[in-house]
Amino acid sequence: MKFGGTSVATLPRWQNIRELVASRRAEGARVLVVVSALTGITDALKQLCGEGDRAKRMAAADAIAQRHYDLLAHMQLETPPTLAERLRTLAELADKGPAELGELAWSAQVQAHGELMSSALGAAFLSHSGVPTEWVDARECLSAIALPNQNERTRLLSAMVDARPDPALNARLAERGEVFITQGFIAREADVEGSRRRTVLLGRGGSDTSASYFGALLKAARVEIWTDVAGMFTANPRQVPGARLLQKLDYEEAQEIASTGAKVLHPRCLSPLREPRVPLLIKDTNRPELEGTVIGPEVREHAPSVKAISARKGITLVSMESVGMWQQVGFLADVFAQFKQHGLSVDLIGSAETNVTVSLDPTENLLDSDAVAALAADLAKVCRVKVIAPCAAITLVGRGMRSMLHTLSGVLAEFGQLRVHLISQSSNNLNLTFVVDESVVDELLPHLHELLIAAGALRTDDSALFGPSWQALYGSGETPVAASAWWREAERERLLAIAAEATPRYVYHLPTVRAQARELKTLAAVDRLHYAVKANTHPAILKAIAEEGFGFECVSPGELKAVMAAVPESAPLLFTPNFAPREDYAWALTTRATVSLDSLYPLEHWGDTFRGREIVLRLDLGRGLGHHEKVRTGGSGSKFGLPVEQLDAFLRLADRHGVTVRGLHAHLGSGILDAGHWGEVYAQLASLAERIGSVAFLDIGGGLGVPSHPGEARLDIAALDKVLREVKAAYPHYQLWMEPGRYLVADAGVLLAKVTQQKGKGALRYLGVDTGMNSLIRPALYDAWHEIVNLSRLDEPATALYQVVGPICESGDVLGSDRRLPEASEGDVVLIAQAGAYGKVMSSPYNLRDDAGEVILD
């Protein structure tokens, strides 16, 4: 059991440790406790080592001693002899300084006292509290090994230990007692004939590593790392509150996550445990009831998935360029010999015909500006050198990374807007790393985490792997309970009855449509809401939305006719076609609809059609957003909207034909969850409207995101309201329009199908249902993720991993990949959620199979 600095700094924390140790003893286990120094003591000891003045060193040693005396007083304990000896030795070291031992050896011995003192204090407290505890000097158990190319600095301050199982050590401890306490971070030099075995340090994360060394030496049942968090998360939870707890990992995945920036566990601590196959458990000292993260040798069968996204700051890049390196034998050997000479370990490598760029990670190198400058000076003798810093490495970690590249388009698009210095994909297929400027990381990481969930790359739906979010565990003290979907309990029996009559069937729940509409009506700054009809054209849905006071946005004469047949004449209409024929515009202008243009062509060639009319102009603001490239409707790669640079030409044409631009419109994409986006669009449109003079309203589009994956953050409607009220206050003379579609109807609809067959192929199991991409094309078209459940077996454990497929003669006819479901049988009813938008309206009779019928629940 290892406890870090915050876990040993106060009396309540030691009382927690006492209870935890007692509980392990009650299970019949012998316990070895490994402790770090009290919080802040290691830093104080380092400062002492850097002080040249004897009096200041002594004052620092006195202050460090006082911290321990204060804690003893809280514990109501006298100073134990073991601690008194440690305090006396520290005072002597501070008094004498480094002259006798040498700077590095003296520094190692001084810094070792943090753990020596905390463990002595802990032994006294535990024994006094009814848990007899033996104090063990880790330096008598852990012996450092000499490594090739080690310099004196790494030998003494970043040592490694021989961790082969040691039955003799196990036997010696067994003779002494049942509970022991020892130190993390420290060891002793290996036996060298004629030399004194000096104290050495294990470097950063040394206490975690010490626990693993002891676990391996003793072949422990498990190693427990007790810290101030519940385990490893899918991202740094301090930066990403929605990060999910990782409940199970194998050694390799955990090593990658730790190596690429996760601070809860040092990567070096996993290597000793692999060969003896000792599992490691990470737990929260203050919340021992939480499950934590289990790391072990077993690789559970699961689909390829990103497990975590992490960031390492302080990265230094060294770029080396020489025309002469192309096909030159030995160039790289000469270059890397310089890194070896300076004792620097290279992390990432990128190469081209005339350039090699490498990264230096401060967690693996004792980096300072002098060391980098000395390296650069020597490298300059053989090539041109450029040092790029400070940088940060953002890494995606997960098994099967190469097979997931197609799901990462949204993430890759984000990097397309940044200065990326280096991209590296690991040979073990476990990570993909991007090195960028350090300044962008803090804002970028939460956004990328959301994109990974939305794309289905970070599979938070797998409850066996992903636990609660950090926010749920620690945010408010209460775990927020997600609203249960209407189909899960309230309407389950009705849905099963509908499926018994016939499948496939779309089922729409009108109360959900109304609830979504009423939520959007709370947006005080919005003057008019138009429902984007293309999402779902069912007459009952159109009527329900009209009753909530919405207008309608249509993209074809067919949609206009459907709306006019279903809703009252008082409902406002907006016609926003794209690349439509002249006849569509001419007919729409005979209706009550407000008509939109988005290119020069209609006025250049059909000016008479629009003469004297008021129109809306749709603009392309130069960028697109959304959960998939095919739903991003802005930027030069999208066919929608008039480029802003053509605005003056459009206005000249409008003036020539007597056309008045009454509104400006921009819609940049779908699936957007950032409330600030629509405020930015309004502000941009308002600034352009000021140039025109005739504009009365600004339509900022739709695209309001609907979270589909467990743990994905919802769009904050209150935050959106605040953003819109603020930006409208700056431009109060324009009406504000919006046009939501999927947000209103996605959650209101489900698709019901029946299981037809099953098939096993290699490691994959296929579950066939009686409809596919002919009814729901979104997964094939957009890589969209829809929750899929076996409605017939909703309460049974999800023990099978299925590829859910339809009967269409296409390899892309996959409704859901790698879904954990109960074992299924022919005839079971499968429900596909969030199918109320872009489902039936995009269906087809492909393969001459009937698409799904529709049923309304009210």
Give Cβ neighbours of residue 123 (< 8 Å, ≥ 6 apart). Answer: 80, 82, 133, 134, 135, 181
* CATH number attached to the domain at 746-857: 2.40.37.10
Dihedral of the CA atoms 434, 436, 442, 448 (nearest 10)? -40
Give Cβ neighbours of residue 352 (< 8 Å, ≥ 6 apart). Answer: none
Structure tokens that stand for 152 in this block? 């004196």
Q: How confident is the model at residue 633 (pLDDT cuts 50, 70, 90)?
A: low
Choice between 759 and 305, residue whose per-residue pLDDT is larger: 759
Q: Which fold has domain 510-743?
A: TIM Barrel (3.20.20)
Asked if pLDDT for residue 324 goes beyond 70, the answer is no
**From CA 4, how far away is CA 114, in angstroms rounded?**
12
From 655, 618, 651, 624, select the one nearest 637 (Cα to Cα). 624
What pLDDT was estimated at residue 824?
96
What separation in angstroms does the CA of 209 have from each of 38, 301, 385, 682, 686?
17, 29, 36, 54, 58
CA 62, 63, 68, 73 torsion: positive or negative?
positive
Structure tokens that stand for 175 in this block? 């003779």
What pLDDT was estimated at residue 366?
55
From 97, 98, 94, 137, select the one nearest 115 (Cα to Cα). 137
Q: Is 587 exposed, middle or buried (CB count within 10 Å of its CB: 0-12, 13-18, 19+)?
A: middle
821 three-class SS: strand
Contact 838, 742 (CB under 8 A): yes
Q: Is 735 exposed, middle or buried (CB count within 10 Å of its CB: 0-12, 13-18, 19+)?
A: middle
**From CA 789, how far away is CA 830, in angstroms rounded?**
6
Neighbours of 289 (CB within 10 A): 8
Q: What is the pLDDT of residues 366-388, one digit of tens each?
A: 556 677 888 899 998 888 899 99
Amino acid at 449: H
User: What is the 8-class DSSP label of residue 203?
Assistant: -
* pTM listed for this prediction: 0.61
Q: How confident is the model at residue 820 (pLDDT cuts 50, 70, 90)?
A: confident
User: What is the 8-class DSSP label of residue 227?
Assistant: E
Domain ranges of the chain: 2-227, 308-475, 510-743, 746-857
The lowest-confidence range among 35-44, 156-165, 468-477 is 468-477
Give Cβ neighbours of residue 269 (< 8 Å, ≥ 6 apart). Answer: 205, 208, 209, 211, 212, 225, 258, 280
To the nearest 5 percent, what fractions of the chain are helix, strand and coil?
A: 40, 25, 40
Contact 839, 751 (CB under 8 A): yes
Name the phi and psi angles at 850, rounded to 5.
-65, 135
From 425, 445, 431, 427, select the one nearest 398 (Cα to Cα). 431
Asked if pLDDT for residue 627 goes beyond 70, the answer is no
Helix and strand numbers, DSSP H then E, in the chain: 27, 37
Structure tokens that stand for 527 in this block? 């003057």
What pLDDT was estimated at residue 615?
95
Neighbours of 478 (CB within 10 A): 7
Helices 676-692, 647-656: axis angle to 10 degrees equals 50
User: What is the 8-class DSSP label of residue 471?
Assistant: I
Q: How confident is the model at residue 632 (pLDDT cuts 50, 70, 90)?
A: low
Percent with pLDDT over 90 in the chain: 55
**From CA 261, how far away is CA 438, in angstroms rounded?**
13
**From CA 390, how far away is CA 359, in angstroms rounded?**
11
Q: What is the pLDDT of residues 64-112, one digit of tens each?
A: 999 999 999 989 999 999 999 999 999 999 999 998 889 999 999 999 9
- For the chain, the first-to-last Cα distance in angstroms comes to 57
Q: Is 567 exposed, middle or buried (CB count within 10 Å of its CB: 0-12, 13-18, 19+)?
A: buried
**From CA 535, how far away is CA 742, in angstroms rounded?**
6
**From CA 441, how far away is CA 418, in angstroms rounded?**
11
Asked if pLDDT for residue 328 goes beyond 80, the answer is no
What pLDDT was estimated at residue 624?
60
Q: How confident is the model at residue 714 (pLDDT cuts 50, 70, 90)?
A: confident
**How far from the centroid of its chain's Cα atoms is residue 800's Cα?**
26
Q: Are strands 199-201 and 144-145 parallel, antiparallel or unpaired?
A: unpaired
Asked if pLDDT for residue 211 goes beyond 50, the answer is yes
HSE, CB side, 13 Å, CA atoms: give it for residue 77: 22
837 three-class SS: coil
Mean pLDDT of 729-748: 93
What pLDDT was estimated at residue 363?
63
**From CA 697, how far away is CA 723, in angstroms rounded?**
18
The lowest-confidence range among 16-30, 495-509, 673-687, 738-752 is 673-687
Class of domain 308-475: alpha beta
Q: What is the pLDDT of residues 642-659, one digit of tens each?
A: 998 999 999 999 999 999
Mean pLDDT of 718-728: 90
Q: What is the pLDDT of residues 655-671, one digit of tens each?
A: 999 999 999 999 887 78
Asked if pLDDT for residue 474 goes beyond 80, the answer is no
Contact 614, 660 (CB under 8 A): yes
Q: How confident is the model at residue 326 (pLDDT cuts 50, 70, 90)?
A: low
Is 809 tagged catalytic?
yes
From 585, 583, 566, select the one nearest 575 (Cα to Cα). 585
Which of 264-268, 346-350, 411-415, 520-524 is the most confident on average? 520-524
**From CA 840, how far away is CA 831, in angstroms rounded?**
15
Q: What is the 3-state secondary structure (H, E, C) of 71-84?
A: HHHHHCCCCCHHHH
Give Cβ neighbours of residue 121 (< 8 Å, ≥ 6 apart). Answer: 68, 71, 72, 75, 80, 83
Amino acid at 413: A
Asked if pLDDT for residue 592 goes beyond 90, the answer is yes
Question: Do you know the residue count of the chain?
Answer: 858
What pLDDT was estimated at residue 827?
96
Contact 149, 343 (CB under 8 A): yes
Q: What is the pLDDT of residues 33-52, one digit of tens each?
A: 999 999 889 989 999 999 88
Q: How confident is the model at residue 480 (pLDDT cuts 50, 70, 90)?
A: very low
Mean pLDDT of 823-849: 96
What separation in angstroms does the CA of 181 have from each of 21, 148, 440?
11, 32, 43
* CATH number attached to the domain at 2-227: 3.40.1160.10
Q: What is the DSSP string of 726-775?
A: HHHHHSTTSEEEE---HHHHGGGEEEEEEEEEEEEETTEEEEEES--TTT
Asked if pLDDT for residue 425 goes beyond 60, the answer is yes
Q: How confident is the model at residue 481 (pLDDT cuts 50, 70, 90)?
A: very low
Contact 10, 71 (CB under 8 A): yes
Helix (H) or strand (E) holding 391: strand 384-397
Structure tokens that stand for 282 in this block? 């990470």
In whole angstroms, how large is the CA radius of gyration of the chain? 33
CA 396, 399, 400, 406 torsion: positive or negative?
negative
Amino acid at 617: L
Name the phi and psi angles at 662, rounded to 5.
-95, -20
Q: What is the pLDDT of residues 674-707, one digit of tens each?
A: 788 888 888 889 989 988 989 999 999 998 988 8
Percent with pLDDT over 70 in the chain: 93
Amino acid at 702: G
